[in-house]
A and B are shown apart, each in its own frame.
Chain A
């Protein structure tokens, strides 16, 4: 589904991703683990098309489509979802309105009809309940006054309603207490399906205790230095990034 080949990318002329390749087949969950400064967040921004994060060489395709030539919103419509490490506040725009606007914008880009208000609300109510946020929260401004955990759960609700083909979750586990971590992990597990893939970008293996990845990649200095099964995460936890450096 996601194919990254020899990607070089960076910010303002500074190369941060230095020849990264990755193959994420449909239905699989991969984790990218790496220490601070290894390029994790840059990778998620490059993949999702944030302004200022430029790929200088290599290619990225989603289901064979060239992702790098698309704008951020087109990538979203193509099925990419980025769960942010620090979800942003938008005062005055309710979560419900934000999500509905986003969903309809994506549907429009894909040539689909708008979702009916009733269907949308039913869906949103269901997911808000599943991720343990009240509808009262959903009617407030986007992430305004939310705790760190509530923001992350809100990201999960958005993901569940938007139903992406590929979910890129950047440090989704950070700032979560153990109960919230479980809620989020259960949500990811529930959404796993043969035609949806996940790329979990994380520093710690905490989340991987609850979401079992098919593969774990170690990101160091802008490159993948090792790839293995779930046991690699445990090894990292024991030995640290320095210990397993190639």
Chain B
């Protein structure tokens, strides 16, 4: 292996983050800082009913009594919550009924990102591309939702959460906060107070959603936090596959992203939730990047329900995220498939919680951590079996791959079993990419970066193959790009 200096030089040369451009879109911002008026401002801008404002204010008052959690293995400088904008809206208000009225600059942004907002474009997509309905969130506002008509025919509700609050208040009111309560944790509580937009999905009883649903999140405005809220309810016997992708411009200052995602699966329902998280990770010296503090939880309420999380985490300066499953329904199933890649000065503390409450519940955890540069990558996972949960099974596998000798990989499993019939398995490995593997691939014609990308993709394969096809291809490329300059 060549010297580390060479690797550093390589890393400096390549400005790797290809989504780092900003778009020239005039924004209407809330006043800077955070107090009750900010909350009222957001609620007012959204035209929300009073119950919603009250819900937000209750969360805000709670939040003021809470403290930033410090139990993770992350080194995060204090965040000044007064030095940020909590709401940014593209000035030209998009008419949601007609995509033609969308601000061309926003449209261009999504085109650059390769997001198919225009239905025709999706339909015209060659080589039998599957139809994917897209909700695009630009800073704080959902700007476009596609395929609405076709989804409505199937009875599926897929819209921005702001619209859902207005149009389906009974559903939102029933489920919002049902899985992640307002007081859940510091960031979830903050989100409950100031969430700006996000996506709402309802799949009626017995309906298999006719296409994949996708939300694309983009932070564009400066000094803006993004607090989206996603709520997916799968009624009895329904099925939905949902994808989310995220990017942000390259900026020197850190930006906060604190999302909440709640999933509810009733009897025999299945939700498959896939994420490719590629927020700006900061530069190679750790300057800038997104602070990603996200609370994601699914509630398998119904018998035989299933929730499956798949995540590919390559972005953000700091990631704090534990997509979890509460397995309450009998025979329900929770799955967590994760690839977390950290390079340069990135830090990730991510994993899952599988809370087994119902009988015969099963969970699978497959975590693949890849550390390069000076980064730190921690898997933190909890498997809990309640006293009345008979015959629970869990299988956990945590594999870490190290590139170079300046990075860290940590595995922190917590296992709490209160019922003796449970079968819990935990396997963990840590390895380095071997010189033999690198040379073998290079002797066959791959350059060093191609060789690393190939080996890393092989390492992550079990997880990548859980992703829908288009996302899997994208994720594979992303792993390669995120590691550019990481070897030497």
Asked if B450 is an interface residue, CB under 8 A from chain A, the answer is yes
Q: Do the beta carbons of B454 and A90 come within 8 Å of each other?
A: yes
Asked if B45 is an interface residue, CB under 8 A from chain A, the answer is no
Please classify the interface of chain B as helix (H, G, I), strand (E, B), loop, or mixed, using the class held by over half of its residues. Answer: helix
Chain B 401-439, CB-CB to A under 8 Å as 1, else 0, gives 000000000000000000000000000000000111111
User: Which A residues are in CB contact (< 8 Å) with B438?
Assistant: 51
Choose from A84, A88, A105 the contact partner of B446 (Cβ within 8 Å): A105
Asked if A229 is an interface residue, CB under 8 A from chain B, the answer is no
Choose from A82, A86, A103 the contact partner of B443 (Cβ within 8 Å): A82
Q: Do the beta carbons of A101 and B450 come within 8 Å of each other?
A: yes
Q: Do the beta carbons of A84 and B450 come within 8 Å of each other?
A: no
User: Which A residues are in CB contact (< 8 Å) with B441?
Assistant: 90, 98, 102
Determine how close the nearest CB of chain B comes to the CB of A233; give it in whole angstroms. Answer: 27
Choose from A71, A93, A142 the contact partner of B457 (Cβ within 8 Å): A93
Query: Which of A50, A51, A73, A158 has the most C-beta atoms of chain B within 10 angstroms of its own C-beta?
Result: A73
- Cα A224 to Cα B455 in complex, Å, equals 38
User: Which A residues are in CB contact (< 8 Å) with B2?
Assistant: 51
Determine how close the nearest CB of chain A comes to the CB of B54; give it in whole angstroms. Answer: 51
List the A residue with the shortest CB-CB distance to B440: A88
Q: Do the beta carbons of A141 and B458 come within 8 Å of each other?
A: yes
Asked if A72 is an interface residue, CB under 8 A from chain B, the answer is yes
Q: Do the beta carbons of A105 and B450 come within 8 Å of each other?
A: yes
Q: Do the beta carbons of B454 and A101 come within 8 Å of each other?
A: yes
User: Which B residues are in CB contact (< 8 Å) with A109?
Assistant: 445
- Cα A51 to Cα B435 in complex, Å, equals 9
Choose from B435, B445, B459 the contact partner of A77 (Cβ within 8 Å): B445
- Cα A92 to Cα B445 in complex, Å, equals 19
Asked if B442 is an interface residue, CB under 8 A from chain A, the answer is yes
Query: Which of A48, A98, A158 has the most C-beta atoms of chain B within 10 angstroms of its own C-beta?
Result: A98
Q: Do the beta carbons of A92 and B1 come within 8 Å of each other?
A: no
Q: Do the beta carbons of A93 and B455 come within 8 Å of each other?
A: yes
- Cα A76 to Cα B444 in complex, Å, equals 6
- A interface residues, tally (CB under 8 Å): 33
Given contacts A51-B2, A88-B437, contact A71 B442 (CB under 8 A): yes
List the B residue with the shortest CB-CB distance to A105: B445
Given contacts A51-B435, A101-B450, contact A92 B443 (CB under 8 A): no
Q: Do the beta carbons of A90 and B455 come within 8 Å of each other?
A: yes
Given contacts A90-B455, A98-B454, A141-B458, contact A73 B440 (CB under 8 A): no
Asked if A91 is an interface residue, CB under 8 A from chain B, the answer is yes
Asked if A220 is an interface residue, CB under 8 A from chain B, the answer is no
Asked if A162 is an interface residue, CB under 8 A from chain B, the answer is yes
Determine how close the nearest CB of chain B comes to the CB of A107; give it in whole angstroms. Answer: 9
Q: Do the beta carbons of A73 and B446 come within 8 Å of each other?
A: yes
Query: Which of B439, B445, B454 has the most C-beta atoms of chain A within 10 angstroms of its own C-beta?
Result: B445
Q: Do the beta carbons of B459 and A91 come within 8 Å of each other?
A: yes
List the B residue with the shortest CB-CB distance to A89: B437
Asked if B462 is an interface residue, CB under 8 A from chain A, the answer is yes
Choose from A72, A89, A92 the contact partner of B459 (Cβ within 8 Å): A92
Q: Do the beta carbons of A71 and B455 come within 8 Å of each other?
A: no
Q: Do the beta carbons of B454 and A72 come within 8 Å of each other?
A: no
Q: Do the beta carbons of B1 and A158 come within 8 Å of each other?
A: no
Asked if B341 is an interface residue, CB under 8 A from chain A, the answer is no
Q: Do the beta carbons of A93 and B442 come within 8 Å of each other?
A: no
8 Å CB contacts to A: which residues of B127-145?
none
List the A residue with the shortest CB-CB distance to B456: A92
Determine how close the nearest CB of chain A comes to the CB of B301; give it in whole angstroms. Answer: 35
Q: Do the beta carbons of A158 and B444 come within 8 Å of each other?
A: yes
List the A residue with the shortest CB-CB distance to B1: A51
Choose from A88, A89, A103 the contact partner of B445 (Cβ within 8 Å): A103
Given contacts A73-B445, A91-B458, 18 further A-B contacts (CB under 8 A): A50-B439, A51-B439, A52-B435, A71-B448, A73-B444, A76-B443, A84-B440, A87-B440, A88-B437, A89-B437, A92-B458, A93-B457, A102-B445, A103-B445, A105-B445, A105-B447, A105-B450, A142-B458
User: Which A residues have a C-beta under 8 Å from some C-beta of B?
Assistant: 48-52, 71-73, 75-77, 82, 84, 86-93, 98-99, 101-103, 105-106, 109, 141-142, 158, 162
Q: Which 3 A-B pairs have the closest CB atoms?
A: A92-B458, A93-B458, A102-B444
